[in-house]
Amino acid sequence: MTTQLTELDAKAAETGANATRVFQEKARGTVQTSTDRVAAVASAALAALHGVIRDYDVTYAEYDALKSWLIQVGADGEWPLFLDVFVEHVVEETVNANRQGSKGTIEGPFYVPNAPRAEGETTLPMRDDEPGTPLTFSGQVRSVDGTALAGALVELWHADALGFYSQFAPGLPEWNLRGAVVADKEGRFSFHTVQPAPYQIPHDGATGKLIAAAGWHAWRPAHLHLKVSAPGYQLVTTQLYFEGGQYNDSDIASAVKPELMIAPADGSVTYDFVLAPE
Ligand code: DHB
Ligand code: FE
């Protein structure tokens, strides 16, 4: 099967290379892991794969196809894209299973720290002719005990009305549709932006090859990405989706949750965040 690319399609190799570079620049800290844990987790992961090979009578031709595909994922720089689409949701669910407060979901590959920051209210950086329906997104940040969290930081990033992220797809201003607000004395914040479109993960690279070969689709529903943090509280990384939005029920990244729905009316919507203490 061939995939027809238009100039509106994000190019896998370019997006992938950017996602790989940004991931490697991002310091989540080094992990100190004991030999025992590495051995246990690596053995279990390999055993799971061995089980699949036995259960499905995998052939040498299929084994070679897998090898060749894995090599191509790396060559296309697509590991951040592939892993965030197909694996991150289970890590997020596991890590945050017992956290109180607002629901989180996956970060995805397109977060960039240190976006332009304002106090209380801002308009996200955007082009003069930025396409899309205007959206005002506001809310309040509180602690699980109900205290308003003055000075909480709310970071917002999202795709444009064609589904492209600045700093990853070509031709967009550096901080297009990325920004942050420091919540006011009452923990309130407000962003003026435009509604994002559904996002099609780049499909001309190795990830797209798998998706096409399996007969899946490559779409994520339209979503806003957020990080909400305050000193002494656990950071929440989440996304918000639009009620009734296309692909909400078939997100390729399995990251939609019922708690994460918004339904703007007359171009405005509110959503409050609740943070749990560290
Ligand atoms: C991918 C893109 C996203 O916008 C997202 O939220 C998650 C994953 C991706 O292309 O891998
Ligand atoms: Fe996204």
- Is 104 a member of any domain? yes
Is residue 259 domain-resident?
yes
4 lies in some domain: no
User: Is residue 3, in this structure, part of any structural domain at all?
Assistant: no
- To test the ligand 1 pocket, which listed residue (91, 167, 199) has its Cβ within 8 A of the most ligand atoms? 199
Is 149 inside any structural domain?
yes
Residue range of the domain that includes 66: 9-26+33-278
Q: Which residues have any ligand 1 atom within 6 Å of their CB?
A: 81, 84-85, 106, 108-110, 199, 201, 220, 253
Q: What percent of the chain has pLDDT over 70?
A: 95
Q: Which CATH number do you get for residue 75?
A: 2.60.130.10
* 135-173 pLDDT tens trace: 999 999 999 999 999 999 999 999 999 999 999 998 999
Mean pLDDT of all residues belonging to the chain: 94
Q: pLDDT tens-digit profile of 198-215?
A: 999 888 899 999 999 999
pTM exceeds cut of 0.85: yes
Q: Considering the domain boundaries, does residue 170 fall inside one? A: yes
Determine which residue's CA is closest to atom 2 belonging to ligand 1: 108
Kindly state whether residue 1 falls inside one of the protein's structural domains.
Answer: no
Q: How many domains does the chain have?
A: 1
Q: Ligand 1, atom 7: nearest CA belongs to which residue? A: 108
Residue nearest to atom 3 of ligand 1 (CA): 108
How many angstroms does the Cα of residue 259 sit away from the middle of ligand 1?
19
What confidence tens digit (pLDDT) does each residue in 48-92 have?
Answer: 999 999 999 999 999 999 999 999 999 999 999 999 999 999 999
Q: Which of 222, 233, 98 lies closest to 153 in space, CA to CA?
A: 233
Protein residue closest via CA to atom 11 of ligand 1: 81
- Amino acid 2: pLDDT: 42
